[in-house]
Structure 1
Amino acid sequence: MTRPTRWQKMEETSGRVKKLRHELINTTPEICTDRAILISKSYEETLSQPYILRRAYALEKILLNMGIYIHEGELIVGNLAEKLRGAPVYPEYAVDFVLNELDTFNLREADKFIISEKNKEILRQILPKWQGNTVKDAAYQLFPSQAKEASQDLICILTTLRSGVGHMIIDYKYGIDNGLLGIIKEIETLMENLDIQDPSYATKKEYYLAVIIVCKAAIAFANRFADLAQSLADSEEDPTRKKELLTIAKNCQKVPAYPAETFWEALQSFWFIHLILQLESNGHSVSPGRFDQYIYPYLKGPLEKKDEDQEFFKELIDCLWVKFNDINKVRDKVNSIAFGGYPMFQNLIVGGQTAEGECAVNELSYMCLSATERVGLPQPSLSARWYYGSPETFLSRCCEVASFGTGMPAFYNDEILIPIMLQQGYTLQEARDYAVVGCAEATVPGVSETWLPGGFLNLTKMIELTIFNGHDHVMNKQYQFKTGEVECLETFEEFKEAYFEQLSYYLKQHVACTNILDSVHGSLVPTLFESVFIHNCLENGKTSLQGGAKYNFTSPNAVSLANTADSLAAIKKFIYEDKTITWAELKVALMNNFNNAEQLRQRLLNLAPKYGNDDAYVDAIAREVVERFSKEIQKYSNPRGGKYQFGLYSISCHVLLADKVGATPDGRKQEMLLADGGVSCAQGRDKNGVTAMLKSVANLDQFKSSGAALLNVKLAPSFLKDEKGLSNFASIIKSYFMLKGQHIQFNVVDAAMLRDAQKNPEKYPLLVVRVAGFSVLFNCIDRMLQEDIIMRTEYQTL
């Protein structure tokens, strides 16, 4: 029996959802100015107020005055900006890039934004007033010179220099089940019980006053939509739509102020809370977390009674799935390459275990999978948890959905991630309740401020700096830190130690910048609304960015592990063991990008062991790099009293950083990309099949990379053409997880289709691909990132 295609599955959604989806993907994102205007006015009006109250009044002004709309046919309402797919401006974080790019946002190859001349003029009037008063300005004044230099030259990437922290999974259940009015009463009680002898009395009281302001503003924001829906209903002639609008009005009058009672109310309450988090701060990766656990109680009764329209429940979920794709963010040019394709990383995870250790799979878990299949858009970024007790039917359904090529769900392994959570200090019940935030970063919802956007370090650049003794021949620049001339390093162990000294030095610079940013965010842009739903913040009387959360981590990420391991393996083999290449020969070849040295490049490329082929020679090197990074990172603490951890994933930083790294000893030329993912192999170098590749990756001690260990795999659609193929697919996942792999995700698309999509983009408006820990519309990413996905090894068989 022939399996249906992805396109056929997408026809199974309702006409309403098809229309909403069509309008969304055919809308060019626009930069909107409401938020920038309103926050600027608020800050001018509250100059004499304590800073935390200024933040509260600013969010209040935004929620009470920004433009709102209800799109025709919508069932879940609430907008981030004045236009569909619009992106607000957040001047408190940075204004330089907006002012510099106002006339070029629409000229970008990817992540384009249009902006009207009127709005350009508004921003040219408003934004200069913020100069010297932003997060970026404050941090730059404090950065040590060498650390700032490393950041500016992209040896290290700081992801929170011009934007919010994001990367949160709040306790949505707390908000939906209790309602904001109930939470306000709790806050008022805490405030009444403050001890006037407590030295922190004043700061705690200011905090409580501030969170009450934002909670009341959130209720008023929802009421504005209730009024709008009522107004639209009054003039609506279609009786069906009129009834819908009246229900929307009733829902928005009730939630999130009061506890939700129906499934529709729960979804609307969730959306308002989720939306306001992103109006407060523009940090991405605001993730729904275990949606199937906290929303299911509102669906379970109606499903059991079977007296309500089951198809309508599906339509509600589909409408919410479309809404996720309305959330957008404008990034500076550099970060639009590092985060290509307008990704917002709203990770929603299903399955796994309950806090008590029972199977957590329920009917909503399956409905979420089906919604992703039907709607076919990149957000939410759907993930699935697996453990030994997972139902085979659940894994099979996950595989079936993934086989349609959206790159979702990504798969996560409870058998390693729960022990990692325990290793970090979470209780067993908390650990079992982990979810994934952003790309691939496991955390526990509602109790954690993990600062997972701890930036990125370019591991392969440090190979170059070791070989050339701190000289960057790409930029023709000498850095202060040197590890000696390589010709004086007599053994591979000595060279390797020199490399780890470079790594240690630049990690130190990166931590210095990150900790400064951590402090600046806590003092200048505390996220009040977020802190209401992060446990211990209310009790401690401070936001999560100020250390109020129960658990506090910071997690930088390592980019290009595969190129690093392959380069070290080539150096070990050819220079130190075989002695068939001299340092002089290699340095000349690298400086000249292998011009007139193609034969040497081919030797490096084809005769040295390559990570991803179950070759112990190079796999041991990759493992050691991970272990040394882990050992080094554990030396550091953050300003919130927490420890550092690290992750192995790249987003699309491997594209951004590629031409910042010269030719490398693995045979890569400067213009070639670095390896994608985090623990993935360099493109096309895994020659021995998928099993060998998985064994190489599993050889890494993934307990060490507690921030993430992201693995991309590309399968040919023919691999999954029948039930046997789907069974083999499930076997790949289980085999890797039994080897203690953390995470695995799949692109199921053939290179021929992608090439055709490059030539004829109009034929593929809904072609979704997996980049790293996120999926995007193929037409929304630049040519280099498209090429990266095409060049990845495409497995045809086991």
Structure 2
Amino acid sequence: MAAKAPRYQMMDMVSERIRRLRERFIATVPEISAQRARIVTAAYEDTMNMPAVLRRGVVLSRILEEMDIYIADDELLVGGMAEMPRGVPLFPEYAVDFIMRELDEFETRVADRFVLPPETKEELRRLLPRWEGACLNDYAFPLFSEEGRKAAGNFCYLLTATRSGVGHMIVDYEYWLQKGIPGIIADLEGLRDSVDRMDPEACERLEFYKSALLMMAAARRFVLRYAALAHSQAETCAGDERRRELELIAQTCEHLAAHKPETFRQACQSFLFLHLILQLEANGHSVSPGRFDQYMYPFFKADLEAAPNAGEMAEELIHCLWIKLSEINKVRDKLNSIAFGGYPMFQHITLGGQDKDGKCAVNELSYMCLDATARVGLFQPSTSIRWFYGMPDEFLNFAVRIASFGTGMPAFFNDEVLIPNMLQLGYNLEQARGYAVVGCTEETVPGVAEPWLTGGFFNLAKMIEYTIFDGMDITTGEQQQFRTGAVEDFGSFEDFVAAYKKQLGYYVRLHIACDNILDIAHARLMPTVFEGIVMQGCKESGKSSMQGGALFNSTTINAVGIANVADSLACIRQAVYEDKIFTWAALKDALRANYVGHEKIRAYMKNRVPKYGTDTEAVDAIGNDIVNELYAIISLYKNPRNGPYLLALYSISTNVMVADRTGATPDGRKMGESLADGGVSCSHGVDKEGPTALLNSVAKLDPYKATGSTLLNLKLHPSVFEDDRNIAKVSALFKTFFLNKGQHIQLNVVDAATLRDAQKHPEKHAFLTVRVAGFSVFFTTIDPRTQEEIIARTEHFG
């Protein structure tokens, strides 16, 4: 029998408890729960005349007090989103249209399938119509301009947070752990009591404090409910060992209701309660734990000093926590299940980097968290490391080895670029050194910022289509309002680029106008008060993070398809203007026909023109010029929270989602073929000059313009990592890229043959994990189109 692959050897190195928990996780299909929807519906109907800030306090309090809870066999850490393992609640206050439309399809989906029992479905058919016309999206959509709605419908951009919470933040976990529930309640009471009631402006803060104190009191009762349940289960438990575990769970919860955590176990449980309540308040994804190895380390260190075997106990607790984080889930509509397939929640843990004094922050927990990612073998939490000049090679090599096991984790980030980017945004040096990664590859400073990091995905390639056809959408045949003139009248390549930049400016403005409306809608209807309790600035100002209460506020526009645009412009410059190989008429005919019958033109564009990703200066410069233009356009605007708009170069899987609505492009890409993956990755199949050429092209994009983040995918064959010498070579490759000011890089380490076999025999590959974009998922749970896109990425050998 063939030896197990290194990854599966690592997954064997866990306790029997973790094996059982992991196997149950894999065997359990996520199930939609109606409980939260039922509780929220009743709470909203009971509070119709209540201001939104207070209303949200009542709503969350009732959820925490009325939802059924469970403690599963073998669990050492407790808490869940619904009444059953892998249960998924609904958030009707944001949107019900897609749930009602797809109610009969959730169980038969190809990607992101959910169990939906008949009795749950019938209850939802009764509950959800009561929300029609009263959801957040019902408020926001009518306020978009007609052009704004049309552009979104044409996939010029994809708007996020229209049917869910915003998420994409890192709260002050350290404050929560250092204060504990009683300490935070005392802080809120002190702020409430210090309000000068003769000052009308100060009096407005009282509403926030009342809501926040309602929530914290409910959070305390929520914790005590788990204590009571653990005691109850212990009384009827047959086994002595499990009875002792249940009593310890009860004691831990009782302690947390009355005191701040003191041990690593208590800190893990306290962290999990906070993380779950944030999810139950607003179902935005990318609620990220941040620098877990830093704020948890004092508890770990104290345990080690008190007991020699504390490290082993901590290891199992981390493994249990990784499984609990993997259980957190949300229901997305069918279209978004393509872009976000595989049930990801983008809960990002950032390891290593620097401390506030600029010294190396790597500690024992940093290693243990990376090790847990490999041994537990699930897709959550996302893990990353921060690299800087002072990082020991030992830690980088260890991280590369963990990545070689094929989970797509960790990803790698460059302090030498990202700390200066944080300084650009106004953070002080200590804050900038404390940055962490949110969601995919976005960066923020924990506990002080509401960064709204996915203000939407802007389709750069669609603007090429609109420029060539003077505003005509060739996928629908519809003429758009904004026009830049017939390309036949452009006398030079520079004229064409100028027209393209005008299209960018017009549609970016439409995009931002829609984002502003969404921003206001969330502030008015869905103020995130509980998040504000653990976000610096919110308690002091008496405003939730959605209302601009955080110390720092921003919104990020995420540009998709920079490689396709650079390649398309290079093809136009060479084939139409410089060498005059094809006329505009011939090229337009080819694009309209999706290259059918025009194979000669397509072959020339794909094979005879240098491309981004091959270290070709002339093409890379085009890409950088578009980055500079986007930065200049986006920097003109501020959001309703008086923060800047930022540029990011990443796509998640929207490069697949927009493929059918983006016409054929001059780089030889056909309509229906996905755009370039990642964000700054090259188009599929272009990087034939090897990874070094690709990294050189990426490094030529100004890293200080994309302050919202960049995303680079690199696919390496498993044979690259056959020994320690090759591990060191990959580490050296990464270091060179970072010294050249690359921001980020992440790996897929899997061969195409394995992926093809997983398509044919999914039952044999339950744990096969791939890096889709800034997140990892089980390959067999994602949409076939996304599977094909991953397989199509160039596979580099040693």
Instruction: State the TM-score, normalized to the length of structure 1.
Output: 0.99
- Structure 1 position 732 matched with structure 2 position 733: yes
**Rounded Cα–Cα distance in structure 2 between residues aligned with 1:168 and 1:214:** 19
C-alpha contact (below 8 Å) 1:175/1:256 kept by paired residues:
no
Residue in structure 2 matched with residue 584 of structure 1 by the alignment: 585
Q: Give 2:161's aligned amino acid.
A: T
Residue in structure 2 matched with residue 320 of structure 1 by the alignment: 321
C-alpha contact (below 8 Å) 2:329/2:345 kept by paired residues:
yes
Residue in structure 1 matched with residue 74 of structure 2 by the alignment: 73
Equivalent positions of 1:60-139 (< 5 A) are 60-139=61-140
- Structure 1 position 747 matched with structure 2 position 751: no
C-alpha contact (below 8 Å) 1:92/1:135 kept by paired residues:
yes
* Per-residue deviation, 1:371: 0.4
Residue in structure 2 matched with residue 427 of structure 1 by the alignment: 428
Residue in structure 2 matched with residue 766 of structure 1 by the alignment: 767
Q: For 1:200, what is the secondary structure of its paired residue? A: helix
**Residues 158 and 384 (structure 1), Cα distance of their counterparts in 2 relative to 1, 3 Å cut:** same
Q: For 2:278, what is the secondary structure of its paired residue? A: helix
* Per-residue deviation, 1:73: 0.3
* Per-residue deviation, 1:200: 2.3
**Rounded Cα–Cα distance in structure 2 between residues aligned with 1:353 and 1:256:** 33
Per-residue CA distance 1:570-624 (angstroms, 9 max, x = gap): 0011001111110000000000011111111000000011100000111000001
Q: Give 2:162's aligned amino acid.
A: L
* Per-residue deviation, 1:74: 0.4
**Rounded Cα–Cα distance in structure 2 between residues aligned with 1:254 and 1:36:** 31
**Rounded Cα–Cα distance in structure 1 between residues aligned with 2:336 and 2:746:** 23
- Structure 1 position 526 matched with structure 2 position 521: no
C-alpha contact (below 8 Å) 2:559/2:647 kept by paired residues:
yes
Residue in structure 2 matched with residue 473 of structure 1 by the alignment: 474
Q: For 2:335, what is the secondary structure of its paired residue? A: helix
* Per-residue deviation, 1:195: 1.5
Per-residue CA distance 1:275-328 (angstroms, 9 max, x = gap): 000000000000000000000100112224553343222111100001111000
Residue in structure 1 matched with residue 538 of structure 2 by the alignment: 537
C-alpha contact (below 8 Å) 2:252/2:266 kept by paired residues:
yes
C-alpha contact (below 8 Å) 1:256/1:269 kept by paired residues:
no
**Residues 332 and 257 (structure 1), Cα distance of their counterparts in 2 relative to 1, 3 Å cut:** farther
**Rounded Cα–Cα distance in structure 2 between residues aligned with 1:208 and 1:193:** 11
Residue in structure 1 matched with residue 661 of structure 2 by the alignment: 660
Residue in structure 2 matched with residue 338 of structure 1 by the alignment: 339
Q: For 1:283, what is the secondary structure of its paired residue? A: coil
Residue in structure 2 matched with residue 562 of structure 1 by the alignment: 563
* Per-residue deviation, 1:237: 1.7
**Rounded Cα–Cα distance in structure 2 between residues aligned with 1:114 and 1:480:** 44
Q: Give 1:282's aligned amino acid.
A: N
Equivalent positions of 1:11-22 (< 5 A) are 11-22=12-23
* Per-residue deviation, 1:100: 0.5
Equivalent positions of 1:343-742 (< 5 A) are 343-742=344-743
C-alpha contact (below 8 Å) 1:256/1:272 kept by paired residues:
no
Q: Give 1:237's aligned amino acid.
A: A
**Rounded Cα–Cα distance in structure 2 between residues aligned with 1:154 and 1:575:** 27
Between 75-84 and 690-699, report the one with greater CA deviation: 75-84
C-alpha contact (below 8 Å) 1:3/1:721 kept by paired residues:
no
**Rounded Cα–Cα distance in structure 2 between residues aligned with 1:45 and 1:313:** 44
**Rounded Cα–Cα distance in structure 1 between residues aligned with 2:146 and 2:628:** 29
Q: For 1:255, what is the secondary structure of its paired residue? A: helix
Unmatched 5+ stretches in structure 1 = none
Per-residue CA distance 1:665-698 (angstroms, 9 max, x = gap): 0001112111100000111111111111100000
Between 110-119 and 426-435, report the one with greater CA deviation: 110-119
**Rounded Cα–Cα distance in structure 2 between residues aligned with 1:182 and 1:59:** 20
Equivalent positions of 1:148-297 (< 5 A) are 148-255=149-256, 257-297=258-298
Q: Give 1:181's aligned amino acid.
A: P
Q: For 1:646, what is the secondary structure of its paired residue? A: strand
Q: For 1:555, what is the secondary structure of its paired residue? A: strand
Q: For 2:786, what is the secondary structure of its paired residue? A: helix
Residue in structure 1 matched with residue 142 of structure 2 by the alignment: 141
C-alpha contact (below 8 Å) 2:653/2:772 kept by paired residues:
yes
**Rounded Cα–Cα distance in structure 1 between residues aligned with 2:777 and 2:416:** 29
**Rounded Cα–Cα distance in structure 2 between residues aligned with 1:391 and 1:717:** 25
C-alpha contact (below 8 Å) 2:52/2:527 kept by paired residues:
no
Per-residue CA distance 1:726-765 (angstroms, 9 max, x = gap): 0111011101100001110000111111111111111110
**Rounded Cα–Cα distance in structure 2 between residues aligned with 1:208 and 1:545:** 16
**Rounded Cα–Cα distance in structure 1 between residues aligned with 2:310 and 2:447:** 33
**Rounded Cα–Cα distance in structure 2 between residues aligned with 1:73 and 1:431:** 40
**Rounded Cα–Cα distance in structure 2 between residues aligned with 1:239 and 1:120:** 40
* Per-residue deviation, 1:61: 0.5
**Rounded Cα–Cα distance in structure 2 between residues aligned with 1:658 and 1:256:** 51
**Rounded Cα–Cα distance in structure 2 between residues aligned with 1:422 and 1:533:** 23
**Rounded Cα–Cα distance in structure 1 between residues aligned with 2:753 and 2:525:** 50
Per-residue CA distance 1:153-211 (angstroms, 9 max, x = gap): 22111111111000010010100110121111111111111112323244211110000
* Per-residue deviation, 1:12: 0.2
**Rounded Cα–Cα distance in structure 2 between residues aligned with 1:441 and 1:426:** 16
C-alpha contact (below 8 Å) 1:3/1:722 kept by paired residues:
no
Q: Give aligned-pair identity as a percent.
A: 53
Between 109-118 and 746-755, report the one with greater CA deviation: 109-118
Instruction: State the TM-score, normalized to the length of structure 2.
Output: 0.99
**Residues 68 and 659 (structure 1), Cα distance of their counterparts in 2 relative to 1, 3 Å cut:** same
- Structure 1 position 792 matched with structure 2 position 785: no
**Rounded Cα–Cα distance in structure 1 between residues aligned with 2:445 and 2:632:** 23
Residue in structure 2 matched with residue 35 of structure 1 by the alignment: 36
Q: Give 1:91's aligned amino acid.
A: P
**Rounded Cα–Cα distance in structure 2 between residues aligned with 1:85 and 1:560:** 35
* Per-residue deviation, 1:49: 2.0
C-alpha contact (below 8 Å) 2:224/2:257 kept by paired residues:
no
Between 335-344 and 450-459, report the one with greater CA deviation: 335-344
Q: For 1:452, what is the secondary structure of its paired residue? A: coil
* Per-residue deviation, 1:152: 2.1
C-alpha contact (below 8 Å) 1:683/1:791 kept by paired residues:
yes
Q: For 1:84, what is the secondary structure of its paired residue? A: coil
Unmatched 5+ stretches in structure 2 = none
**Rounded Cα–Cα distance in structure 2 between residues aligned with 1:371 and 1:397:** 13
C-alpha contact (below 8 Å) 1:369/1:398 kept by paired residues:
yes
C-alpha contact (below 8 Å) 1:16/1:73 kept by paired residues:
yes
C-alpha contact (below 8 Å) 1:176/1:256 kept by paired residues:
no
Q: Give 1:704's aligned amino acid.
A: K
**Rounded Cα–Cα distance in structure 1 between residues aligned with 2:186 and 2:454:** 33
Per-residue CA distance 1:5-36 (angstroms, 9 max, x = gap): 10010000111111111111111111111100
Q: For 1:348, what is the secondary structure of its paired residue? A: strand
Number of residue pairs matched by the alignment? 796
Q: For 1:703, what is the secondary structure of its paired residue? A: coil
**Rounded Cα–Cα distance in structure 2 between residues aligned with 1:168 and 1:218:** 20
Q: Give 2:438's aligned amino acid.
A: V
Per-residue CA distance 1:230-276 (angstroms, 9 max, x = gap): 00011112111111100100111122552100110000000000000
